[in-house]
Structure 1
Amino acid sequence: MEPVAVWWATLADVRPAHEALLDSVERGRRERYLRDADRDRFTLGAAITRIAVGTALGISPEHVRIDRACDDCGKPHGRPVIDGGPHVSVSHSGDRVGVAISAHGPVGLDVEEAGRANESIAGHLLAPAEKADAAAAGMSPDALLAYWTRKEAALKATGDGLRVGLTRLSMSAPADPPRLVGWEGRPDLPGRMAMRRLEPGPGYGACLAMIDHPAAVDVTEAPAYFLRGPAGRP
């Protein structure tokens, strides 16, 4: 069974050749970012997607067609979609960029820099039962990071994104393996969604959510080594 692949990169991996892989829509979006680091994060996410999907489909990265149309407005700032598959999800935070690719069903990847998880986000993040646990036992930054990455990954897998508040989702306790416990208005999702804790490197937390995947599917993580080639190819 083909595994779900998660590729990790850092901003040091970006090369001039990666920008050449972007199509005209992606180049336009890249140029709208004001900071070099933001442009590099977007470039890496697009390059990893194109190279990895192209390898899986047996075509060159330049010929991978990615639809980024927003579900709400149609503008090209939505999640990446490959017509006919595979399913992909892109996430970045700080120095890390990750891309998840699955042939089995929708996936959602989220990575967050640990320093961003603090008590100021708790009110927008925790469901009522999770807030009660936090009030009773305290909530460490690591616990908040676990809740945050799990919920963002779940919302990316369904495609809901910012349209659904994080407080509508309930997750397993941070010390336990990640699991969707409840989703307000969507009682079917806990039984359909599997989650995995990922290892993006020191100072970061990450989670992967998978919908309607085979129970025995493996998840592999690896550095996007192919990005360091002179032409940005495997």
Structure 2
Amino acid sequence: MRTFTFDPPAPVGIPVVGQEAFFPARRVYCVGRNYAEHAREMGFTGREPPFFFLKPVDAIVVVPNGETGTLPYPPLTHNLHHEIELVVAIGKGGKNIAAADAMGHVFGYAVGLDMTRRDLQLAQRDLGRPWDIGKGFDHSAPIGPITPGAQVPGIETAPIWVNVNGQVRQKSSVASLIWNLAEVIEHISAAWELQPGDLIMSGTPEGVGPVVASDLMIGGVEGLGELRVKVA
């Protein structure tokens, strides 16, 4: 029997709507600038080739239905931004998956927030350096329960939004993705072999902005319920 020098961390389990079993998260892939209007507000235009970054799986903050998650305001930043996202949960692995076959690899969907230390991200971007310090910090990926795909037909055109303290910040539709969900899976699986348990944060619409301590973010994707997160 294999032993370890110390106890390995427990797997991150995300609740599944209507099931007792939890979804075991493996990797968190994120798609950059995948809504045209958000790309413009970040200083870019056009349908550029998709690009990706990853968050550590232990950056996930699991927020069960009906509860409010807590997000500690992270160190080193003075400009913490919300980015609401549709999260795709992979249930069947594969590599070089064709877009025509991609949706057969999806287990379900969730609402997520790609929290960003914007000042640190932009500073690294301007220097041509990786974004990890701006994107992959502790607690940077609050995610709600996963709804099996069969229960949310029409997710590809669902409204997506986030409010902060009752004020609308981001409001769009999944239909406005530059690269749709099937295309995203095709591109990611060409670079990495997807495995069951992988999560894909599919991109955020325009309207990203700062939050501070005590702010309450309530976001959602139609058919998936709401994600409530308060900044501590």
- TM score, norm. by length of structure 2: 0.26
Higher helix share: 1
Using CA pairs under 8 Å that are at least 6 residues apart, name the structure with larger relative contact order, 1 or 2: 2
- TM score, norm. by length of structure 1: 0.26
Higher strand share: 2
